[in-house]
Structure 1
Amino acid sequence: MTIGFFDSGLGGLTVLSEALRKLPHEDYIYMADTLHVPYGPKSKDDVQSYILEAIEMLMQYHIDALVIACNTATSIAVAELRDMYAIPIIGMEPAVKPAVEMNRATGKRVLVLATQLTLQQEKYYALVSRVDEQGIVDSLPLPELVQFCEALQFDKRMITEYFRSKLAPYNLNDYGIVVLGCTHYPFYADLLREMLPPHIGIVDGSAGTVRRLAAMLHRYGIAESQGNGSVKLLCTSGDQAYVNKMRTALDLLAGNTIYT
């Protein structure tokens, strides 16, 4: 059985890395939409058309299940994709619900970091409205972080200064959880953890997404677990240099030797 993963660029590799740890006996094909990365600054209609075109390419590889490893792509296109294809399709959303539940008794706030396009979507507003009864969720767009990740920019001093400038308006003593609401952002989770006060936890949606994937595979009776964890990396532009970059990023995630 082969599971497809899709993202605009490198970010979804953080989810794929989690799947390789939790479901090591499946095979994977990862597609990055390098023709249009990043999605964040683009219009919803344009991004939706890009996603549908890229998934059509990915479907030619006869995948048995699909993970939309991108919060923005999920919010914009997952409903349409489920109407178009009969295979199991798992999307992502910022881990606001578990963050709110963890903070409910502490009186602390939740800070969601995501792309501007994700934060503007009705799906995100509906999610926050549904789970944030106490009004403790704040949202902060970090569009530059996607660009840093796509450039494999892991200079510790520069990224730390970036985080400090973006977080400067916030009294971090008021917060108990930071949500990484873009799959590119976990590349910087360890660095963010170093600079945040120790009482602040960090959550992202990767673990929950992989749990839903495993449950869906069993529900559909397609969890054969006869693969060997092979990974085929593809991109919509066919750029071999970018494929090599994806391999480097996946190796970095596996080895956790990122910062310079």
Structure 2
Amino acid sequence: MKIGFFDSGLGGITVLSEALRRLPNESFVYMADTLHAPYGTKTPQEVRGYVKTLVQTILKEEVKALVIACNTATSIAVAELRREYSIPIIGMEPAVKPAVEMNRANGKRVLVLATSLTLKQSGYAALVSRVDDHGSVDSLPLPELVQYCEQLNFDRTELFEYFNRKLSSFNLDIYGTVVLGCTHYPFYKEILKELLPSHIQLIDGSQGTVRRLKQVLSERNLLASPVKAGQSQEGHVTFLCSSQDEAYVHKMERALEIYAEHEKIYL
């Protein structure tokens, strides 16, 4: 059986790439909700409806676990999905807790980059309240970055100008960690590393999400067995999208290649 991933578009591929690296014996199905992307500009009620429909579709692929590879969708719909379905459902949240912990010793602040909708959710406010004892977390919505990613736009001049404009009001010297709180944003880690002061660390939720996925699969005896000599290697990914757009399927395949190259991960 496969592990299901879904997102509004290409963003969840950053999480899928981590899963391919850490779970090399598994096969995956990744579905993008191209009919309704981007989620970050929709109302919570709209996103909840889109997610429920998408889950019903992806479950037809006989998946043994499901990863909501989208911070916005997780914050809005994960609790309801877990009540409705018995398979493991792994969600995502901005990596605020590890970012705060990384800065405890140096007194630096944390800057969370995310979609407007994620930052408005009560779940995000509760997360920050729970882990940020000293009021050290700031946030910045970057909705346009999702569209850059969906266009596979990596034009350095354009993106440097965009980030400089968005960050111009922040004194970056006081920050120790920047959280990439949308799964689209890690596509731009290389550019951010060049632009931000060298002392700033970048962190996203992909590693923690996949660690949790692996733990849950192990606890439920759902991990795929290692490939034996002479058998074909697993690790296959099936890409689907709600619009059934073949061109977008090819774009997802290309996005995975691009991200793997950026991460120096050899799948």
Question: Which bin holds the TM-score, normalised by the shorter protein?
Answer: over 0.9
8 Å CA contact retained: 2:8, 2:33? yes
> Shift of residue 105 of structure 1?
1.4
The verdict on how the C-alpha distance between 1:2 and 1:257 changes in structure 2, with shifts beyond 3 A counting, is: closer
Runs ≥4 residues deviating over 6 A: none
Could you say what the CA RMSD is over the residues aligned between the two structures, in angstroms?
A: 1.2
The residue aligned with 1:245 is 251
Give distance in 2, aligned partners of 1:224 and 1:197: 42
1:148-169: CA deviations, max 9, x gaps? 0001111011011100000000
Structure 1: 5+ residue stretches without partners: none
The residue aligned with 2:189 is 189
1:16-41: CA deviations, max 9, x gaps? 00000111110000000000000111
The residue aligned with 1:231 is 237
Query: Which stretch of structure 1 is more off in the superposition, 86-95 or 247-256?
Result: 247-256
The reply on whether 1:179 has 2:179 as its aligned counterpart is yes
Relative to the length of structure 2, the TM-score reads: 0.95
Give distance in 2, aligned partners of 1:124 and 1:196: 24
The residue aligned with 2:229 is none
Relative to the length of structure 1, the TM-score reads: 0.97
The residue aligned with 2:230 is none
The residue aligned with 1:205 is 205
The reply on whether 1:135 has 2:129 as its aligned counterpart is no
1:167-195: CA deviations, max 9, x gaps? 00000001000000000000001110111
The residue aligned with 1:218 is 218
Give distance in 2, aligned partners of 1:7 and 1:231: 15
Please give the secondary structure, in 2, of the residue aligned with 1:64.
strand
Give distance in 2, aligned partners of 1:218 and 1:180: 28
1:59-118: CA deviations, max 9, x gaps? 011100000000000000001111111100100000000000000111110000000000
Give distance in 1, aligned partners of 2:208 and 2:260: 19
Give distance in 2, aligned partners of 1:256 and 1:168: 26
Please give the secondary structure, in 1, of the residue aligned with 2:153.
coil
Please give the secondary structure, in 1, of the residue aligned with 2:239.
strand
The residue aligned with 2:42 is 42
8 Å CA contact retained: 2:190, 2:262? no
1:222-250: CA deviations, max 9, x gaps? 11235610000000110001001000100
Please give the secondary structure, in 2, of the residue aligned with 1:225.
coil
> Shift of residue 257 of structure 1?
8.9
The reply on whether 1:90 has 2:96 as its aligned counterpart is no
8 Å CA contact retained: 2:2, 2:64? yes
Give distance in 2, aligned partners of 1:169 and 1:22: 38
The residue aligned with 1:23 is 23
Q: How many percent of aligned residue pairs carry the same amino acid?
A: 63
Aligned length: 258
The residue aligned with 1:71 is 71
